[in-house]
Structure 1
């Protein structure tokens, strides 16, 4: 019988040195969803973002709707950015990231099913939570908790047949494989999401702070309707978001108290978690090898079927 996939250990959710390694290995080499081009109404409109302690600004440069550039707030230099045919803006935060097509080679057919230029921007909110960035991504990447934690959401999207399809650097969530066009739910590695349903779109970025147990959540909301229709949608999606928020804070408490150390992932229902955690593991291990200029040691092991990790860094040093 094939070995079952193990989770990342709790120390990876609590260690400051480990986060700094993640920052170099994962975040500086990724692409990030900033939102539809409808976020930028007028020439000169600027929207600020911060990912992994890198501050950036996206700005509409001319009357041309797609003339949007992304700059490093500190240096003023331009970051690589990409606008999809259907109107989604993505950007990098360093020159270490590959091209958009290399990072997301099979994404365009999926996001090509929605015209994001038809979704007007409505509202953004952000706040901090007492949990590691991976704690929130763990929750998004599975729906075993949905029936209990999200009763209102489960009415419309029953988790019975819930399936996650993993691709290179993103996952598609499908509530019912027989109704694959019933909403679009995507996770972009490492920390962005896109959820299109109910006449609107919500997206969030899970932004790590320098403290491994504190994460800033940033939400953007778009909807075809304004006024009362939008407020009904907003109330519904905010309820789901706050249910996840409370669950993540409780989970992080257990991680930090040592109640949970490491476990085994469900091979059917938690493939999304296994996918992204293994991607984190691979990148962090590769970065560690590069920086130490040594061969893989007993500090970690990798294989195609299992994920076994001890401490790359001493959690006591965090």
Structure 2
């Protein structure tokens, strides 16, 4: 019998601070897709482990990552999720300008200063790697190759013929719960019959299975109708690839924004000529709302201090136990 993690790990800001470095700063975190920054000057930004990151396409077509921090007095370079900056990144505070490769181009109005060498004040770099067009960042620079982490997904995508559609749509949802409470909910189908009646009518929950391979957990269940394809793949520590029918996929980033808050960033890829987006979005919104209600209720009970630990089903919650073991190892 495997015990759950202690409830203290879901409500303690100190634990969350440790997770920011040990889990999110030390691994690969999703930023977006290359098609969001396709031409020179295009950029996309995201928060990773409490740090603001910007990825910008250079004039040489290379996508580079930087901390979204001016070297002068820490002003931001960009404030939008994505956009076009032209031929340089310009600080929003005092107007210092940087080339797209991170070099300081102009300390505007700074004047001649003894000991100030602009070559020493380039942007702080961030390591980027891509897989199938998806862009990831590693803050500490010490993570293994991204290709090794996502290798189990390659075979899965090939076997199922998963392709990234040409059109994209972004949506976000805020949840009042610790990120782990939501991830654990995602990693089991045990709750489907009780929480998701519409989904339960579309899938054969009795044949639901979750398989772990490396850093990947794959959910598979036969479908009997509806828009769901019955394939959900999750990548440590907080990213999921949800496959729908009609040639559509949704990338789900489970982003912690505090010890008791989580933001779900959804990036939909679809073929506008074949995807029934209205049906997909309706199903997605329903599932998200149902998960939000139950996860927030669980968080309130975790915060109350009555419950410390529970037990995990060896049949239905193996992926939850696997995830919790990885969290405990990262924090040890």
Cα offsets for 1:235-281 (capped at 9, x unmatched): 21121111111111111001001242201100110011011110000
CA pair 19-101 structure 1, distance change in 2 beyond 3 A:
same
Which of 28, 36, 41 matches 1:39? 36
- Structure 1 position 154 matched with structure 2 position 149: no
Which of 182, 190, 204 matches 2:252? 204
Give the secondary-structure state (helix, strand or coil) at the position aligned to 1:22.
helix
- Structure 1 position 190 matched with structure 2 position 237: yes
Which of 59, 65, 80 matches 1:70? 65
Q: CA deviation at 1:234?
A: 1.3
Contact 2:20 2:50 in 1 (8 A): no
Select the structure that is richer in helix.
Answer: 1
Which of 263, 269, 287 matches 1:216? 263
CA pair 282-228 structure 1, distance change in 2 beyond 3 A:
closer
CA pair 201-24 structure 1, distance change in 2 beyond 3 A:
same
Cα distance in structure 2, aligned partners of 1:30 and 1:15: 22
Q: CA deviation at 1:62?
A: 5.8
Aligned residue number for residue 92 of structure 1: 138
- Structure 1 position 138 matched with structure 2 position 133: no
TM-score, L = length of structure 2: 0.75
CA pair 68-14 structure 1, distance change in 2 beyond 3 A:
same
Indicate the larger mover: 7-16 or 221-230: 221-230
RMSD: 2.6
Which of 198, 212, 216 matches 1:166? 212
Q: CA deviation at 1:33?
A: 3.1
Q: CA deviation at 1:79?
A: 2.4
Contact 1:12 1:18 in 2 (8 A): yes
Indicate the larger mover: 183-192 or 276-285: 183-192
- Structure 1 position 239 matched with structure 2 position 236: no
Report the number of matched residues.
275
Aligned residue number for residue 304 of structure 1: none
Give the secondary-structure state (helix, strand or coil) at the position aligned to 2:331.
helix
Cα distance in structure 2, aligned partners of 1:111 and 1:82: 19
Indicate the larger mover: 40-49 or 144-153: 40-49
Cα distance in structure 2, aligned partners of 1:163 and 1:63: 46
TM-score, L = length of structure 1: 0.78
Aligned residue number for residue 26 of structure 2: 29
Structure 1 residues not aligned, in runs of 5+:
286-318
Contact 2:219 2:231 in 1 (8 A): yes
Q: CA deviation at 1:118?
A: 4.2
Give the secondary-structure state (helix, strand or coil) at the position aligned to 1:80.
strand
Q: CA deviation at 1:52?
A: 2.0
Give the secondary-structure state (helix, strand or coil) at the position aligned to 1:119.
coil
CA pair 162-116 structure 1, distance change in 2 beyond 3 A:
closer
Q: Which has the larger radius of gyration?
A: 2
CA pair 212-173 structure 1, distance change in 2 beyond 3 A:
same
Select the structure that is richer in strand.
Answer: 2
Structure 2 residues not aligned, in runs of 5+:
71-122, 224-228
Q: CA deviation at 1:183?
A: 4.8
Contact 2:177 2:262 in 1 (8 A): yes
Cα distance in structure 2, aligned partners of 1:60 and 1:157: 42
